[in-house]
Amino acid sequence: MTKTNFYLKMITSSLVRRRSRMLTALLAIAIGSTVLSGLVTIYYDVPRQMGKELRSYGANILLVSSGTESFSLDSLRSAEKYFPKDSVVGLTPLKYQNVRVNEQPFVAAGTDFGELKKTSPYWFVSGSYPEKPAEALIGQSVAEITGLSVGREFLAHGVDGFGNKFDKRFKVSGILQTGGSEEDCIYMSMGDVENLSGFSGLVDVVECSISAGGEELKSIAEEISKNVPEISPRLVKRVTQSEGTVLGKLQALVYIVTIIVLILTMVCVATTMMAVVTERRREIGLKKALGASNREIVWEFLGEGLFLGALGGALGVVLGYFFAEAVSMNVFTRSISFNWLIVPLTVVVSVMVTALACVIPVRSATDVDPALVLRGE
């Protein structure tokens, strides 16, 4: 039998003989590793998950004309190339036209309602979104001023971009409630507003909801400004700053909890190993009396601790994934994205924490005086 095989057999034999205490230490390490693996997974996945959640609060980039005129859809398509693939939640074009309803001035906004629902999912609509031409979604303020309700018709009149007067009848499909300035507008299809204004293929603003962090959004805006001169991108600071603040605080909280759990794991393992050393004082004294060196005693106890750390870390990786998945599904209602680099990280950290926890117990083991122990003192 080689020295290595004898060493491993000695460690496993010692662990089996004291399985109740070792199971306590293993359980503590496994719990610590589970929380470590789960929280680290959540830590790195929080920006993705929270980014998707925060997209429900509206657009985080506005594309407007760099001049005084509207910009073309061709320019918009050029700008879209600089958005990361799979990060675009929605792009809502808006074209405005002044109209009068019941002799009251309002702003009509032509848009793509499919995209609008993606960038503004928080909108509450009594009735329904427009689905046909000549249907309109009016804001709550508009409804109060004009006395319009769902199902009623109204006449929109005004002057188009060429100075020609227009009169067109619309039917109210729904009433919008947001608590914001959106309640002052009348929303209709892009085609309807193009007919009213006399211009087609032009937009005034595009509201963009992009799943990206503040720094990445700045980089995107800079690229668009540099390569698409017709468009001036503007970050919606209220959204981007809030996102950065929330993510920073959440990640800091996860970091603090992880540190606390690791410290508690270390204390639990150290306490268990100290109890093991106390139980084995006579055995340690006998080994020393037979010629065992302090180094051999250290490696025996350290080997037991490292074995428990590696085994507990491996268990923690598996359990940590299910822990992170459960948290993600309950908090974000989305599946977690697992990073395989967490596997070696968790095992290595578990082994290191266990090794640190064994320092004091191992030092106590080397201080055992064989003469005193064998005399029963």
Residues of the chain with pLDDT under 50: none
Report which secondary-structure segment, H or E, holds 295: helix 294-331
Q: What is the pLDDT of residue 280?
A: 72
pTM, to two decimals: 0.58
Q: What is the pLDDT of residue 120?
A: 85
- CA atoms of 87 and 91, how far apart (whole Å): 11
Backbone φ and ψ of 163, nearest 5°: 90, 5
Q: What is the pLDDT of residue 11?
A: 67
pLDDT tens sequence across 334-367: 677 777 788 888 888 888 888 888 888 777 777 7
Q: What is the pLDDT of residue 33?
A: 85
Q: In the chain, what is the straight-line distance between the N-terminal and C-terminal CA atoms, in Å?
A: 36
Q: What is the pLDDT of residue 377?
A: 52
Are 58 and 181 in contact, with CB atoms under 8 Å apart? no
